[in-house]
Chains A and B, each alone.
Chain A
Amino acid sequence: MKALMFGWEFPPHILGGLGTASFGLTKGMAENGDIDITFVIPKPQGDEPKDFARIIGANSTPVAWRDVTWDHVQSRIGHVMDPQLYFNLRDHIYADFNYIGVNDLGCIEFSGRYPDNLLEEINNYSIVAGVIARTVDFDVIHSHDWLTYPAGIHAKQVTGKPFVIHVHATDFDRSRGNVNPTVFSIEKDGMNHADHIITVSNLTRRTVIEKYGIHPDKVTTVHNAVEPLSDELLNVEIPPGKHNKVVTFLGRITMQKGPEYFVEAAAQVLQKVDNVQFVMAGGGDMMEKMIRLAARRHIADRFHFAGFLRGKEVYELLKASDVYIMPSVSEPFGISPLEAMQMGTPSIISKQSGCAEILDNVIKVDYWDINAMADAIYSIITYPAMYRELRENGLKEVDGIRWKKAGAKVIDIYRNLIH
């Protein structure tokens, strides 16, 4: 079976959970065998893993005919793509897109991030998708998140192949209800065109059914999973000089993630205990507000903002932490608590997180219930048995949550659509 996937991020260059999830799922599907995946991303860097998916960069797919030599193509994009594929794609250009502004290879430039002209980039991505869909052979189309829905729709219209969309988040999660009408209409359009919708949690499934008016039969939940961590990451060194208990928040400091509830809970705990430090790692539009809030609660000496962490730093912090907390107001899934559990760090998550549906050995609280949150933090840092039990059971539990199972479910969905 052959699948054409459209995504926006792919490790190692990731901006959020979307890249991790797309990668994990692709790998999990490949582990089930008998599947051939072509994965389209806007701007590959060449160091993406290629063992289980063929990666095509939208920025190296020609949309306007240029007479170039093999050597030229090889020197320009040889590190991300086989030049032969470039020429195959060039044979399938279906209209003249010179007016958009293309480079010497006839390709559109992509940022691969979330720029201000995001809508334009989404549109360009969909133009590119038309060329790829005409070139590549596949049985099913799979779009990851709203940015790539238009591309998937285009591919479906060109080929008539079944179209699956994967909802990693909806705008209702990102905006606490104040949806952006443009984003909503793109999402809704994708859902209407899709032959099947995969959501990452039952929470998201309900949103899709209730807020977007989609028939429940068309929507299936496939929970995310985690990759087992490499030994290198599991054995990272904890930075020396740790004397206190550490409670960590890790993620974008935005409305969706509920950072203010973490600060309030920290203020409560610090009234009673003093050998504890709170860390908020990440960046976002609410960061300054949170710094002011911590100051107003007079806990700034114990509440630290670590900024945006990369790669190994994340795991160092997780390992050094005694508690990981994710008080998200609305979290479609939330992979980070699973990663914390892999590092042996007990987690507190909000009941409004999708991962709460599959996790037992974590503490679940309502995101607004700062009392319960503070109680849970206090308990884990005060009672050693609590820490040990959560840590050990958590390690065991998260070990059983594998992408391979999720991949098998997705393949099943494909099968039902094809036959």
Chain B
Amino acid sequence: MKAICFYFQIHQPFRLKNYRFFDIGNDHYYYDDFANDDIITRIAHRSYLPACETLMEMIREYGKKFKVAFSISGTALEQLEQYVPEFIDAMKELTDTGCVEMLSETYAHSLASLQNPEEFSRQVKAHDAKIEQLFGLKPKVFRNTELIYDDDIASMVYAMGFKGAITDGARHILGWKSPNYVYSSASAPKLKLLLKNDKMSDDIAFRFSNTDWASYPLTADKFIDWINQLPQEEQIVNLFMNFETLGELQPRESGIFEFMKALPRFAAEHDIQFWTPSETIKALKPVGELAVPYPMSWADEARDTSAWLGNVLQQEAVEKLYSIAERVHMCQDKRILQDWNYLQASDHFFYMSTKHSSDGNVHSHYSPYASPYTAFTNYMNVLSDFMTRVEQQFPTDIDNEELNALLLTINNQEAEISQLKREVEMMRNNITKDLTGDFIPDEDVKSEQHEEEKKEPQKKTAKKAASKKATTTPKKKVAKE
């Protein structure tokens, strides 16, 4: 018995507008709304929506026998909510069938796993919360941005409570081994790994409509037969690809949707099932450990992180960005936190790649910029502005530790205030009960108090906070009233 594990990725970054050096310090809105709207709407109508419909039809027809998994980045979800809300509904309908699994990933589709463990776990939590809020599902299997994976990441992922992770079956890691098994991580042996079957995934994603390909045309019959021909022991075929494969990379007229629809029928003939990543991990035992000392990914010819960190420009941009991570983590300002997410999208660094030949073509195909140098210039201008905004929040002359202590005081103060408030409330209730038994609490006083508290954390810059430490406690205020 064999199984196919389908997993689709959906991601769109917030592309930056043309941000000139004059704008630094003056304009704090960085995004090209028109392009973002245009691109996601086009892809959704050509690919995401019809593909969802196809999957829905398949699930209706084959019931629990057909299953798929998705990972959707937080930035893509935000754009879809804003520009193509009908997609969220379609996806909800899919997830409600119980045949769809949602995978975990970083909220911003970022490189945080390589740069900043704290930020990495923050983003994973944020992403999973968003998925739960929208679809009511709790992701159990993790897939990192562009399948970036190494032993360090495995440990972090396992520590966060995931039982499985998805990554690429890169040839320089696998060697003679086959990707059609479940493996376990060398650094966290209890973390199971699912590896992408490069050849068969790319047969669908890249070669499906290529008339020069020897196996053209690819039919469901033929494809399932290939899987059937695999040795008995190779039980799982992991087909991982971008969701826009269906309809965008392989356009509707190539017959990709019909191909998908026909798969379950031929699969059933050969007793080949469809499993989600969670089911696969549960059903199969790992056959061996996989040690990955250097990060790998599914991008470019090299299958490493050179697509984002390959040249000086990319390294500089990433380094500058994460140099302020600690500061940003102390910020409360919502817009700063939002920009922080959007600026981390790996795509910005992908555009800065100076690779040539076939890899270069892929990079420039997706890039909104004419050259990697323009991409870098624009990003750095934006980042400069962002960094000044973060600096404005907290003066640079206070070092992180000191600042952290002050913020802790402020945060604790809030907790303390609410604690005391509750006490006051309780005591007051007790008193009124004691005296009359039918006391109605003074509404005005209450709401005023609320407002004051809300403003407090914003007003206080760190320095002031230190001096204000001994502000009048609410207890006194209440007493005055």
| In the bound complex, CA of A374 to CA of B24 (Å) | 14
B312 near A385 (CB under 8 angstroms)? yes
B371 near A383 (CB under 8 angstroms)? no
Shortest beta-carbon distance, A378 to chain B, in Å? 4
Contacts of B377 in A (CB 8 A): 375-376, 378-379, 383, 386
B354 near A389 (CB under 8 angstroms)? yes
Contacts of A363 in B (CB 8 A): 371, 373-374
Contacts of A271 in B (CB 8 A): 22
Contacts of B371 in A (CB 8 A): 363-364
> With A379-B376, A385-B376 given, is the CB distance from A360 to B356 under 8 Å?
yes
| In the bound complex, CA of A271 to CA of B356 (Å) | 36
> With A268-B22, A271-B22, A375-B377 given, is the CB distance from A384 to B370 under 8 Å?
no
Q: Quick one: which of A374, A388, A389 contacts B21, CB cutoff 8 A?
A: A374
Say yes or no: is A256 at the interface (Cβ < 8 Å to chain B).
Answer: no
| In the bound complex, CA of A272 to CA of B21 (Å) | 8
Shortest beta-carbon distance, B252 to chain A, in Å? 36
| In the bound complex, CA of A48 to CA of B179 (Å) | 67
Say yes or no: is A361 at the interface (Cβ < 8 Å to chain B).
Answer: yes
A101-147 contacts to B, CB under 8 A, are none
**Binary contact track A375-419/B, C-beta < 8 Å → 1, others 0:** 110110011111011101100000000000000000000000000
Shortest beta-carbon distance, B16 to chain A, in Å? 13
A342-387 contacts to B, CB under 8 A, are 360-361, 363-364, 371, 374-376, 378-379, 382-386
B23-40 contacts to A, CB under 8 A, are 24
- Closest A residue, CB atoms, query B24: A272
**Binary contact track B370-399/A, C-beta < 8 Å → 1, others 0:** 110110111011000000000000000000
- Closest B residue, CB atoms, query A360: B356
Contacts of A384 in B (CB 8 A): 316
Shortest beta-carbon distance, A148 to chain B, in Å? 38
- Closest B residue, CB atoms, query A269: B21
Shortest beta-carbon distance, A401 to chain B, in Å? 15
Query: A376, A379, A382, A388: which has the most chain B beta carbons within 10 Å?
Result: A379
A241-261 contacts to B, CB under 8 A, are none
> With A375-B377, A389-B354, A390-B373 given, is the CB distance from A383 to B22 under 8 Å?
no
Q: Quick one: which of A272, A364, A378, A389 contacts B312, CB cutoff 8 A?
A: A389
B316 near A379 (CB under 8 angstroms)? no
- Closest A residue, CB atoms, query B370: A364
B312 near A388 (CB under 8 angstroms)? yes
A301-321 contacts to B, CB under 8 A, are none
Query: B24, B316, B317, B378: which has the most chain A beta carbons within 10 Å?
Result: B316
| In the bound complex, CA of A393 to CA of B376 (Å) | 15
Contacts of A389 in B (CB 8 A): 311-313, 354, 373, 376
- Closest B residue, CB atoms, query A391: B312
B317 near A378 (CB under 8 angstroms)? no
Shortest beta-carbon distance, A344 to chain B, in Å? 14
Query: A271, A374, A375, A390: which has the most chain B beta carbons within 10 Å?
Result: A375
Contacts of A371 in B (CB 8 A): 20
**Binary contact track B142-168/A, C-beta < 8 Å → 1, others 0:** 000000000000000000000000000
Say yes or no: is B315 at the interface (Cβ < 8 Å to chain A).
Answer: yes
**Binary contact track A76-114/B, C-beta < 8 Å → 1, others 0:** 000000000000000000000000000000000000000
| In the bound complex, CA of A374 to CA of B22 (Å) | 10
- Closest B residue, CB atoms, query A371: B20
Contacts of B315 in A (CB 8 A): 385
B22 near A386 (CB under 8 angstroms)? no
A386 near B376 (CB under 8 angstroms)? yes
| In the bound complex, CA of A3 to CA of B182 (Å) | 70
Contacts of B22 in A (CB 8 A): 268, 271-272
Contacts of B378 in A (CB 8 A): 375
Shortest beta-carbon distance, B244 to chain A, in Å? 28
B313 near A375 (CB under 8 angstroms)? no
Contacts of A390 in B (CB 8 A): 373
B21 near A385 (CB under 8 angstroms)? no
> With A360-B356, A363-B373 given, is the CB distance from A386 to B313 under 8 Å?
yes
B376 near A375 (CB under 8 angstroms)? no
Contacts of A383 in B (CB 8 A): 316, 376-377, 380
Contacts of A364 in B (CB 8 A): 370-371
| In the bound complex, CA of A271 to CA of B377 (Å) | 18
| In the bound complex, CA of A249 to CA of B68 (Å) | 59
| In the bound complex, CA of A364 to CA of B371 (Å) | 8
- Closest A residue, CB atoms, query B352: A389
Since A272-B24, A383-B316, A383-B380 are in contact, a sample of 15 more A-B pairs with Cβ atoms closer than 8 Å, ordered by chain A residue number, is A269-B21, A360-B356, A363-B371, A364-B370, A374-B20, A375-B377, A376-B373, A376-B374, A376-B377, A378-B377, A378-B381, A379-B377, A379-B380, A384-B316, A385-B312
Q: Which 3 A-B pairs have the closest CB atoms?
A: A385-B316, A379-B377, A378-B21
Q: Enumerate 18 A-B pairs (CB-CB under 8 Å) in ascending A order.
A: A268-B22, A363-B373, A363-B374, A364-B370, A364-B371, A375-B21, A375-B378, A375-B381, A378-B381, A379-B380, A379-B381, A382-B21, A384-B316, A385-B312, A385-B317, A386-B380, A389-B354, A390-B373
Chain B positions within 8 Å of A, measured between CB atoms, are 20-22, 24, 311-313, 315-317, 354, 356, 370-371, 373-374, 376-378, 380-381
Chain A positions within 8 Å of B, measured between CB atoms, are 268-269, 271-272, 360-361, 363-364, 371, 374-376, 378-379, 382-386, 388-390, 392-393
